[in-house]
Structure formats: structure tokens, C-alpha cells
Amino acid sequence: MLHYCLAHTAHHLSRWLPKHDRLKFQIIVVTFVTIVLVPQLYVLIRPKSARFCQQPLLGNLTCSIALTFMASGFAVVLTLKDPIPQALKAAFHAFGVASFTAGLCTTVLTASAAPCAKTTPELYYLSLMLSVGSMLATGFFLAMGGFWAANQLCPGSVLNLRSRTGVCLEPVSSCSCLWHI
């Protein structure tokens, strides 16, 4: 979910800015994606990364790089579009499922690849960082999904903007991007 979280965060942060100031933000997004992408590409081209590792961490890194490129595309498109078409929302949430699956695979592969820390240290530790980031992002979306589900089951209990009530009214009042895409 790390890649999904990056694009989701870029979308919501861009909504705080006026439409005419979003170009500067898009430059920041591209810079941030570059900062995220460079270590992955560096580890990919390292000769040590091609050594034997019992788990396919190198193939997993390639998948992560592809998802990073897709996340950057979604981040740019989501900051440009206002309102967001339903088809784009559906594609973005399908990307979220793919990102969750990739994060789950990364976590499982990394957990079972402890011996790779000696043979391919850069690859192993990058995979470990991607696993931790994915778990944190998944935890965030599970918490947000819990609030959403509670609000669907008991309408207005978590957030009711009309009557200005609910558990999440104060955080959402000061940061409306916390609620949904």
C-alpha cells in the first residue's frame, strides 16, 4: 500500500492549494518520486544485487520500481483533475489493491530472506524498508477504512458535516483531506 499511499497523499495535499498554484506542487511531487525511485534503481544496478538470494527479492524490487512509476503517474493525474472522473477513481483503487498485494508479497519475502542480508545486503535492507513502509501505510488505510465502515453502519456517528457532529469532526474540520478521495 506504500505506492497507493504516496499517490493518495499527493492528491489530498494538492487539494489544499488553489488550482493555479498546483504546478509548483507537481514539481515537488516529481522531485519526491525521484527521491523514492533513485535508491531503488541504485540497488537494482548494483553488482551485489545479482548474487544468489534464496528469495526473489530482485524481481520484487523490479515490481516495486514499476509501481513507483505508476504511483507517480497517478499522483500527477490526480493533482491535475478536478473533479476526478469515476473511471479514474476505479483505476486508482484497483492500483491500491495491486499495491497492497505487492506490499504483502514484499513483507512475506523479506521475512523469509534473513540469510540474504549477508549475500545481498543492499537489496535485503531496501526490501526491509519497503516492507515497513507498506505495513505502516496498510495500518493507516485500515484505520481510515474502519472509520468509513463505522460511518456507513451508523450514519453520522463518525462524521456528519451537516449537523457538525461526530467523533472525527474536529480532525476533518482542520484537515478535510483525511476523509476520502
DSSP 160: B
> Is the pTM for the entire model greater than 0.85?
no
Q: Are 43 and 61 in contact (CB under 8 A)?
A: yes
Q: In the chain, what are the domain boundaries?
A: 2-156
Amino acid identity of residue 156, one-letter, is G
Walk along the chain (181 residues) and give the pLDDT tens digit of each residue. 889 998 988 888 887 777 777 778 888 888 888 898 999 999 989 888 778 888 888 899 999 999 999 999 999 888 888 788 999 999 999 999 999 999 999 999 999 998 888 888 899 999 999 999 999 999 998 988 887 788 788 887 777 666 666 666 566 655 555 555 4
**CA–CA separation, 29 and 40 (whole Å):** 17
- Cell output for 150: 463505522
Long-range contacts at 20-27 (CB < 8 A, ≥ 24 apart): 22/79, 22/80, 25/79, 26/76, 26/79, 26/80
